[in-house]
Each structure stands twice: as structure tokens, then as C-alpha cells.
Amino acid sequence: MAAVLFDFSGTLFRIESTESWLRAVLAETEISLPEPELIRAARALDTVGALPGGSFPSGRIPDELAPVWEIRDKSAELHRTAYTGLSRQVSLPDPALHDALYDRHMTPTAWRPYPDTAEVLGALRERGVVVGVVSNIGWDLRPVFRDHGLDPYVDAYVLSYEHGIQKPDPRLFATACDALGVDPRETLMVGDDRRADGGAAALGCAVHFVDHLPVTKRPDGLRPVLDLVG
């Protein structure tokens, strides 16, 4: 393999828990909630899927949000509308908290790399294998990689909202291969979403899936990539 493309959320990094997310925003805004109410609100936010990169909505997407939800990763505006719309299904003490929560999830401190992320990216660099990050997302994740010291290992970022194309559309993977100057047939795509990331197979890429688990429960899920690259 000449190149490896990685998904971002659930593959290289994992977002904080919904409870941690809510606690951080309440602290930043100096709004207090009784502990039982905070736990209730965090669980409700998790159930509706309000945290990008967190749990998928467990119930039906509201009718007014359904059209936006399907194309949420095609622009920054659509992404914010979709997730704040889900968040607003949950009653919070100040309506401004819904946008504050969305803003929080875009900060580097809200994300943690998996334990073997740096090791695997570093090993690929030593082998001369180029790396791209291909993500369905509505905001610029580059600061997350810079803050965690992983940006030097990434040769190209291809983000859906910057191209108006979202996975599994093969054109997004083709854009990544072009940016890296590699043949898709010599490229491995690594992700956690069989539908979205599996779209790379239509282009001729090999595909490998990892489990979307909390950081503490997936200590070495990326290491098989090194064997696949050869």
C-alpha cells in the first residue's frame, strides 16, 4: 500500500462523553443545574443524538430536521442546523446553551486520540506511507490534530463540508487520492462506518473497519493497519 486514508471520529479520535460535554459547557457559561437534572439532561441529549461523534439518534429524526439530517455533512451551516436542532429537543435552562454545546464539540479539548493513534501514524510515516484524513464533518478538524501533536503525520485533509460531498460518495475518496498523488488500488481506507467508509471500495481502495468504542475500551484497534499495509 502506498497510502492510508483514515476516518476521524470513532477511528483516530473519539469525542468526550455527553455528560462531560454538558458539564464543560455549564462550567464555561457559569450555569448550574442540580446533579439529578444534569444527569437527566445528559441522558436526554445522548438519546436524541445531539453530540456530533457521539451516539446516533435512538429514535426518529423529527420531520422538520429529516431533510437536513441526510445531507448534514455537506456544509457547515447544515451541520450546525442538524445538531442544534436535535439538541433543542431537550429542555435546558438557557436556550443559548444549544449553540454553546455545538461550539464546545469543535474544540480540541473535547476530543481524545485512541491510545495507538500516534504509534500507528508514526509507523506509517517511517515506512514512507502517505496519510490522508477523510471525514464527513461540518467544521475544520485540523486544530484537533495540531493540538494533539498529530498534524505532522497527516499529508492531506479531505473534509466533506469543504467539498460539498459526503461519504460514501466515491468522489470524496477520489479527491483524497488525488491530493496524495496515489492510485486508489494502492490505498487502504480505515473507518468505523461500514456504509460511509465502505464507499471507498467502489473506487478500488481496500477497506478496513475498526469498532467505534470509547477510548478506554479500544487500546489497539488501529495496529492491524500496519500488517495490512505490509
Express each pLDDT in 10-23 by its tens digit: 999 999 999 999 99
pLDDT tens digits for range 81-100: 999 999 999 999 999 999 99
- Predicted confidence at residue 18, as pLDDT, reads 98
pLDDT of residue 34: 96
Residue 190 β-bridge partners: 6, 208
CA-based end-to-end distance of the chain: 7
For domain 3-14+111-229, the question of CATH label 3.40.50.1000 is answered with yes
Q: Which residues pair with 131 in a beta bridge?
A: 4
Supply the pLDDT for residue 59: 86
- Measured N-to-C along each axis, helices 97-105 and 18-29 cross at an angle, to the nearest 10 degrees, of 120
Q: Are 173 and 189 in contact (CB under 8 A)?
A: yes
Q: Is 33 helix (H, G, I), strand (E, B) or coil?
A: coil
Q: What is the reported pTM?
A: 0.96
Residue with cell string 477520489: 174
Phi, psi dihedral angles at 207 (to 5 degrees): -130, 135
Quick one: what percent of the chain has pLDDT higher than 90? 99
Do 213 and 221 contact (CB within 8 A), yes or no? yes
Q: Return the half-sphere exposure (C-beta side, CA atoms, 13 A cut-off) of residue 134.
A: 34
Q: Amino acid identity, residue 33?
A: L
Give 26-53 pLDDT, tens digit per residue.
999 999 999 999 999 999 999 999 999 9
For the chain, which residues make up each domain, given as ranges?
A: 3-14+111-229, 15-109
* Residues making up the chain, counted from first to last: 230
